[in-house]
Chains A and B, each alone.
Chain A
Amino acid sequence: MSSNQSSDSVPTREVARRVFAREFNDASYTFKESDDERAPLYLLLPTGERANRVLVVGTLTETEDVGDESEYWRGRIVDPTGTFFVYAGQYQPEAANTLRDLETPAYVSIVGKPRTYETDDGTVNVSLRPESITAVDAGTRDRWVAETAQQTLERIQHLDDEGNEYGRMAKEQYDLPPDEYRTTALSALESLDESDSSPDTPTQSTESVSDPQ
């Protein structure tokens, strides 16, 4: 019978947002929605959405151990709009193993959390701390590009909606014209349309996906 019972009785899992590298790397503002030390940290996307988790599918083009004493793997994942940087160390042992073992180039699917850090000259870099990295096929990658384009366009469409709290926040925090993201989403879609060569992947695949070992 208390004031706000309906929604939050069971802690809900954070949704993995779909965002292209271009927009992801433009983001810099992070925030929490409560004072609780363990409250989730959100990255504010320029198209007006909060992201505590993202799903990225792209081409892993390079991996490098950039650690000093212990292994710390950096991977570059390329999508039609830019490059995601992913870092995995001792606290992400499975992801670190995968980065060490994968042969590049390879299509990979990454579920992870956005992390920001400020460089000495004051610019904010955004990277991805992986929860999982798996090798996937071209069909999965194409599906992600189409889905990400679609969801990016939907965010832009609702950016100015009354009551879109994160839309308002994005306009306050960023001086970034949303039309650029519309253009990049459109060209990402067009790149799929041109390369329509990838054959329809069969449904229900078990072994078709390449295994890193």
Chain B
Amino acid sequence: MSPIEKQRGGSETMSELRTHAEEIAEQFSDHLEITVDDVESQLENLVTQYKVPANEARRSVINNYLDEAGLDRDEISQGGASEILVNDIDEDEQWVDLTVKLVDLWEPGSDAISQVGLIGDESGTIKFVSFATSELPKLEEGAVYKLGNVVTDEYQGNYSVKLNRTTTITELDEEIEVGDNSASVEGALVDIQSGSGLIKRCPQEECTRVLQNGRCSEHGSVDGEFDLRIKAVLDDGVTVHEIIFNRERTEELTGLTLEEAKTMAMDALDTSVVADEIRGDLLGRYYRVTGPTYGRYILANEFEQLGAPADLESILIKARSM
């Protein structure tokens, strides 16, 4: 809140204009031959001669330069891109700098995409996309890069980063041990969400979307394939975590196999009996779950049920000392 408040007052000091000018010059440094002094004098003209508030002046100057460079607003950084770890990305449309290793390149799904794949640092991995129109050099698998000015993107709780025309790519001569975004959480299993139990997935190659009433959101009415999974909520009294158990983990956790689940559903003429059975088995009990994070979910790789507390003594000591 404070920067905006500050700039509302009419009397902008010269040093603040200078800061704006430096930021703007930096934003356009790859596109236009402009100096900080050029920018500053334009800002100053608007602010002192024409009594335009500094924010408006900044906006207007940036728009002029955008026109001059033939760029769209979202092709330049909004200033203040910061170095961040990929697993800390939790907001859409943030401009960030990353130091990452290219882990995996995927087949681009369209001509508009130059490269798509997975990049990672010690905190974990994230999807990246580089568009053909950005005309960036191609990245190589296994190489480590400093990527300046990439923008974050969010889709259904999952984050990716987009490279763009202003992105700077510097290959670094160093090695990164890429992490697996792994998290370990404990808590009571307080909810099993819809879409759990016996589900049907779209059989189209590479689709695997979960069908709603026999329909895939992409491929329409299809003859789905049965699968088992659990979307659960673990709650430790302070925070909640959403967990996905895939078929193997669901079978392990519930002792119910996919074949048994299908038989149950057929006998009942209703697939929801499977989720009901699972609810009775799992709700209200404590678990520890470990696995990679995927958007807002943790994919359960390992889990265990937690019984009676182990360190009663330490809690008692604390309670008595209060």
Using a CB–CB cutoff of 8 Å, the interface residues on chain A facing chain B are: 3, 5-6, 9-10, 12-13, 15-18, 53, 55, 57, 94, 108-111, 131-134, 136-140, 142-144, 146-147, 149-151, 153, 156-157, 182, 185-186, 189-190, 192-193, 196, 198, 200-207, 209, 211-212
Contact = CB atoms under 8 A, between A and B. Distances in A.
B284 A193 contact: no
B57 to A, nearest CB: 18
A34 B309 CA distance: 38
B322 A153 contact: yes
B319 A55 contact: no
B284 A200 contact: no
Interface stretch (B16-24, B127-135, B237-245, B261-269): B237-245
Given A13-B233, A111-B191, A150-B315, A140 B322 contact: no
Contact of B280 (A134, A153, A202): A134
Given A18-B237, A134-B284, A147 B309 contact: yes
17 contacts: A13-B240, A15-B239, A15-B240, A109-B188, A111-B191, A132-B283, A134-B284, A139-B306, A140-B285, A150-B318, A157-B322, A192-B312, A196-B312, A204-B303, A204-B304, A206-B254, A207-B255
B235 interface: yes
B219 interface: no
Interface size of B as a range: 35 or more
Given A10-B157, A136-B284, A189 B319 contact: yes
Contact of A156 (B190, B305, B307, B322): B322
A198 B307 CA distance: 10
B320 interface: yes
B101 to A, nearest CB: 29
Given A192-B312, A193-B316, A140 B286 contact: yes
A139 B188 CA distance: 13
B190 to A, nearest CB: 5
B229 interface: no
Contact of B320 (A3, A12, A186): A186
Contacts of B315: 146, 149-150, 189
Interface in B276-312: 276, 279-281, 283-286, 296, 303-309, 312
A149 B281 contact: no
B308 A142 contact: yes
Contacts of A110: 284
B233 A3 contact: no
A110 to B, nearest CB: 7
Given A132-B283, A140-B286, A198-B308, A55 B237 contact: yes
A17 B237 contact: yes
Contact of B283 (A134, A150, A157): A134
Given A182-B319, A209-B281, A147 B312 contact: no
A182 B318 CA distance: 11
Given A140-B285, A204-B304, A16 B316 contact: no
B1 interface: yes
A142 B238 CA distance: 19
